């Protein structure tokens, strides 16, 4: 059967639907013309999509590698590639009145100018990046959730100035709730922030710049994944972790209806076109369902019950501190709401399998060249994996491909492994494990790994092992599990969900019989394996059995490490597991490959006589032709009788989540009592180690305090001696100062007397000068008086003389 692509994101307008799949295929569906186009086939999975509001023919697609692509589905062309993010693009949003695009990821929030296809502004960067950032419907404000900062940042869309920061309320543990999704009302008065755990919807007033109230959904809904405010600014569509879409009234704090999928199907995301006439829902089976939103809400409101209205609780900020931000949830016991009932509605269109693609287009899709293909949509559309030839092949064709080339292409190996193992991608159940954090058994794993305490691989391995331990307590006590899971986690990279499901599938199938005697090694299984080796090579088998328990321990060490410590190179290890996972013989082919490897190394093994030589042989990793080992393993598989097989023929994949079962199956193939005893022993040892550490800390503290007291005492004695010496110096200095002051006083007295004598002399000199000036003045005044008298005498004499002359003249 042809594999169907999983749709990961969609964008919806009044007349078009944009789709992007996990294999990177980008489609545009023209709803009125009932036609579709494949615009492109990318090398990575799509994570988000959006139409340009102003130019609705432009479709933007965000990818897992952080790149953003712009398409014009009218001309069926790619317009631009926008690199800028380093992690997967979580959301895309467009502004209504201008050609601007807002993209968000965990490393940054970026604003793009679509006229030049260049980055205009980085609004936020790590560690305050966000997977959610949105424009308001009017395009006046921008909101982004800064997860690590515990707040929502609001910017003005035109000036890009920060308007305010809305703080997230604190939970019972005084930790801020984490916003998983945002939505702004069309009238720009309200902002909704949904929390993943618990199912809490925070209602903020943008006018008052604070929290108005909160809506708490029922506990069985777990958390809010997506929220969208409708044009009336009071109604909101909310999608929870259970895959149910609910319609809430944020003013009356009531639920007006619920949209539940058909049995076995849950919503993964949804998109509502700007006028809110229709809604597209991406389901966990990879299909898209379109709904007439007005008709759907009218039907739901007519069937609203009092019980439904009471399901939503209104909380205020003081009440939020009584909630836990990350409750522990057991996925295996989680009960999801029933998907049957009057609330269900059949979709108007179901996009599933294309039965009307012309023969030429089918040939193009099989060759991986689907770009530009189109067809008529008759209600059913099949999206095949097109980014690689092997992706649309079934298991038999993959086995033929492997036999022809000896290995899978490295670029597509992980995708092929996921296809072979039929990984279900139970994202909701996995998110619950992920939310529980690090398991106590692996809290120190990163520090125990040599040279990798800060490595991203160590952190991912710790997360994967913790999720496995949350799934089953056995995997928290299995000491070999880190070595077994490490190469697979490293191969999966940042795909944490794929790493968890891949390792879980291997443990369920390839590791059968490993835990029957837990915590001891599965020695009976290994002895049966040696009997199978003896069947093919009697001399080698007898020699290996003669080596006894040390050989069995070495074989267990190699098998429990997924053969990564035995094969000489990583490429050989990848080829080894290519054939393990694709073999028609099932999981038991692992032991045929190991048997073939031992027979290939028979000359070296026959030369081993003791345990030390055996250990040195396996540690040296002797060179081997892995392709020859594989060919010989297939021959051994054909000649091995049924009684020599280890009973690992059947393969059971992890079941996909459904309405009846939302989580992963319970793993029970182990002695629960032994695991409990092992856990108790680990806890006892941990408690003893903690007590010993505390005693050491107390002893060290006492020793430190004793040393401190002795040091303080010696320091005090030295300080007293120094103070005495300083006091003596001070007294001597004071005496010297007094002597100098006395001498200075005597000198000052002498100087004062001299100054007084000087002043007296100066006064006397001034007095003498004054007397001299007075004498001079008096002398000058006397001289002046004498001159006046002489002058008057002369005048009088002259007058007398003149009168005498007149008298004389009269006489004559």
Residue 630 pLDDT: 93
Residue 340 pLDDT: 32
Sequence-separated contacts (24+) of 623-627 with Cβ below 8 Å: 623/568, 624/567, 624/568, 624/572, 624/597, 624/600, 625/600, 626/567, 626/572, 626/575, 626/576, 627/406, 627/575
Helices (H), 380-522: 395-405, 413-421, 427-435, 445-448, 456-471, 481-492, 496-509
Number of helices (H), then strands (E), belonging to the chain: the values are 20, 30
CB 384 within 8 A of CB 3: yes
- In a 3-state reduction of DSSP, which class is residue 564? coil
CB 217 within 8 A of CB 246: yes
- In a 3-state reduction of DSSP, which class is residue 242? coil
Q: What is the DSSP letter of 384?
A: B
Integer Cα distance of 149 and 127 in angstroms: 8
Integer Cα distance of 257 and 260 in angstroms: 10
Q: Which of 616, 503, 512, 479 is nearest to 554 (CA)?
A: 616
Integer Cα distance of 519 and 677 in angstroms: 9
Burial class of residue 490 (count of CB atoms within 10 Å of its CB; 0-12, 13-18, 19+)? middle
Q: Residues with Cβ < 8 Å from 303, sequence gap 6 or more?
A: 257, 342, 343
Integer Cα distance of 280 and 288 in angstroms: 7
Beta-strand ranges (E) seen in 304-362 are: 313-315, 349-351
CB 582 within 8 A of CB 420: yes
Integer Cα distance of 545 and 535 in angstroms: 13
Residue 334 pLDDT: 32
Residue 487 pLDDT: 93
CB 379 within 8 A of CB 349: yes
Q: Dihedral of CA 21/26/32/33: which sign?
A: negative
CB 513 within 8 A of CB 484: no
Tell me: the pLDDT tens digits for 596-649? Answer: 999 999 999 999 998 889 889 998 989 899 999 999 999 998 888 877 777 677
- In a 3-state reduction of DSSP, which class is residue 676? helix
Q: Which of 629, 506, 615, 512 is nearest to 567 (CA)?
A: 629
Integer Cα distance of 154 and 167 in angstroms: 11
Sequence-separated contacts (24+) of 503-509 with Cβ below 8 Å: 503/464, 503/468, 504/468, 504/471, 504/654, 504/664, 505/421, 505/423, 505/653, 505/654, 506/421, 506/562, 507/468, 507/475, 507/667, 508/652, 508/654, 508/665, 508/667, 509/586, 509/587, 509/648, 509/651, 509/652
| Phi, psi angles (nearest 5°) of residue 386 | -130, 0
Q: Which of 291, 373, 307, 280 is nearest to 39 (CA)?
A: 373
Beta-strand ranges (E) seen in 13-117 are: 16-21, 25-30, 35-41, 46-51, 58-63, 68-72, 77-82, 89-94, 100-105, 108-113
Burial class of residue 723 (count of CB atoms within 10 Å of its CB; 0-12, 13-18, 19+)? exposed
Residue 342 pLDDT: 31
Residue 55 pLDDT: 64
| Phi, psi angles (nearest 5°) of residue 749 | -65, -45
Q: pLDDT below 50 — which residues of the chain? A: 1-3, 126-128, 306-307, 310, 326-392, 452-453
Helices (H), 194-326: 293-302, 306-309, 317-320
Q: How far is residue 494 from each of residues 48, 130, 458, 491, measured CA to CA in Å? A: 18, 17, 12, 9
Q: Which of 263, 216, 215, 224 is nearest to 242 (CA)?
A: 224
- In a 3-state reduction of DSSP, which class is residue 616? helix
Tell me: the pLDDT tens digits for 340-362? Answer: 333 333 332 333 332 223 333 33
The residue to which tokens 């000491």 are assigned? 479
CB 621 within 8 A of CB 568: yes
Residue 317 pLDDT: 65
* The 118-125 sheet, strands edge to edge: 89-94, 100-105, 108-113, 118-125
Integer Cα distance of 68 and 61 in angstroms: 6
CB 585 within 8 A of CB 649: yes
């Amino acid at each position: 059967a042809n594999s169907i692509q999983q749709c990961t994101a969609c964008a919806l307008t009044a007349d078009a639907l944009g789709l992007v799949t996990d294999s990177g295929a980008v489609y545009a569906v023209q709803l009125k013309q009932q036609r579709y186009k494949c615009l492109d086939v990318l090398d990575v999975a799509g994570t988000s999509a959006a139409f340009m509001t102003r130019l609705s023919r432009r479709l933007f697609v965000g990818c897992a590698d952080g790149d953003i692509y712009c398409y014009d589905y009218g001309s069926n062309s790619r317009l631009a590639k926008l690199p800028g993010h380093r992690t997967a693009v979580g959301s895309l949003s467009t502004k209504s009145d201008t050609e601007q695009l807002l993209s968000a990821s965990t490393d940054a929030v970026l604003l793009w100018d679509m006229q030049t296809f260049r980055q205009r502004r980085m609004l936020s960067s790590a560690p305050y990046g966000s997977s959610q950032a949105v424009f308001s419907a009017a395009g006046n404000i921008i909101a982004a959730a800064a997860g690590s900062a515990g707040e929502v940042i609001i910017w003005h869309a035109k000036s890009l100035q920060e308007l305010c920061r809305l703080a997230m309320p604190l939970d019972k543990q005084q930790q801020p709730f984490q916003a998983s999704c945002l939505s702004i009302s069309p009238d720009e008065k309200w902002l909704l922030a949904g929390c993943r755990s618990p199912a809490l919807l925070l209602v903020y007033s943008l006018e008052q710049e604070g929290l108005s109230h909160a809506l708490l959904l029922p506990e069985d809904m777990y958390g809010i994944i997506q929220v969208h405010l409708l044009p009336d600014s009071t109604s909101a569509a909310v999608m929870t972790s259970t895959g149910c879409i609910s319609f809430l009234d944020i003013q009356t704090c009531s639920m007006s209806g619920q949209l539940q999928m058909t049995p076995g199907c849950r919503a993964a995301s949804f998109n509502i076109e700007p006028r809110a006439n229709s809604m597209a829902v991406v389901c966990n089976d990879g299909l898209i369902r379109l709904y007439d939103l007005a008709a759907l809400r009218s039907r739901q409101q007519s069937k609203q019950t009092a019980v439904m209205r009471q399901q939503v609780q209104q909380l205020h900020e003081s009440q939020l501190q009584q909630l836990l931000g990350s409750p522990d949830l057991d996925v295996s016991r989680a009960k999801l709401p029933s998907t049957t009932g009057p609330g269900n509605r059949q979709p108007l269109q179901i996009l599933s399998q294309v039965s009307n693609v012309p023969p030429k287009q089918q040939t193009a899709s099989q060759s991986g060249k689907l770009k530009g293909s189109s067809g008529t949509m008759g209600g059913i559309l099949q999206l095949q994996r097109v980014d690689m030839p092997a992706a649309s092949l079934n298991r038999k064709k993959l086995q033929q491909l492997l036999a022809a080339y000896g290995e899978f292409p490295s670029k597509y190996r992980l995708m092929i492994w996921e296809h072979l193992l039929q990984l279900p991608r139970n994202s909701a159940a996995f998110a619950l494990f992920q939310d529980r954090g690090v398991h106590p058994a692996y809290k120190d794993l990163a520090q125990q790994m040599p040279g990798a305490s800060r490595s991203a691989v160590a952190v991912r391995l710790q997360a994967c092992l913790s999720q496995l331990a949350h799934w089953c307590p056995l995997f928290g006590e299995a000491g070999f599990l880190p070595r077994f899971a490490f190469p697979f986690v490293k191969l999966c990279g940042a795909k944490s969900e794929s790493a968890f499901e891949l390792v879980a599938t291997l443990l369920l199938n390839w590791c059968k019989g490993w835990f029957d005697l837990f915590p001891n090694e599965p020695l009976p299984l290994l002895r049966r394996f040696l009997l199978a080796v003896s069947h093919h090579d009697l001399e080698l088998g007898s020699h290996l059995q003669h080596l006894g328990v040390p050989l069995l321990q070495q074989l267990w060490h190699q098998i429990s490490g997924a053969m990564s410590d035995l094969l000489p190179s990583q490429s050989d290890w990848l080829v080894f597991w290519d054939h393990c996972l694709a073999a028609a013989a099932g999981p038991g082919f692992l032991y045929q490959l190991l048997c073939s490897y031992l027979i290939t190394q028979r000359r070296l093994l026959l030369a081993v006589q003791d345990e030390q030589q055996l250990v040195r042989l396996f540690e040296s990793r002797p060179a081997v032709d892995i392709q020859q080992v594989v060919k010989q393993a297939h021959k051994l598989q054909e000649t091995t009788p049924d009684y020599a097989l280890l009973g690992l023929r059947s393969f059971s994949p992890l079941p996909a989540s459904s309405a009846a079962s939302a989580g992963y199956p319970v793993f029970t193939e182990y002695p629960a009592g032994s695991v409990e005893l092992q856990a108790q022993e680990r806890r006892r040892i941990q408690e003893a180690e903690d007590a010993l550490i505390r005693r050491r800390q107390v002893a060290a503290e006492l020793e430190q305090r004793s040393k401190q007291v002795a040091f303080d005492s010696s320091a005090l004695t030295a300080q007293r001696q120094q103070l005495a010496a300083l006091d003596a110096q001070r007294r001597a200095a004071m005496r010297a100062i007094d002597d100098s002051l006395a001498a200075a006083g005597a000198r000052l007295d002498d100087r004062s007397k001299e100054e007084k004598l000087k002043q007296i002399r100066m006064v006397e000199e001034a007095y003498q000068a004054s007397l001299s000036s007075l004498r001079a003045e008096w002398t000058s005044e006397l001289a002046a008086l004498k001159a006046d008298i002489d002058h008057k005498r002369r005048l009088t004499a002259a007058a007398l003389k003149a009168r005498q002359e007149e008298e004389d003249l009269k006489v004559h």
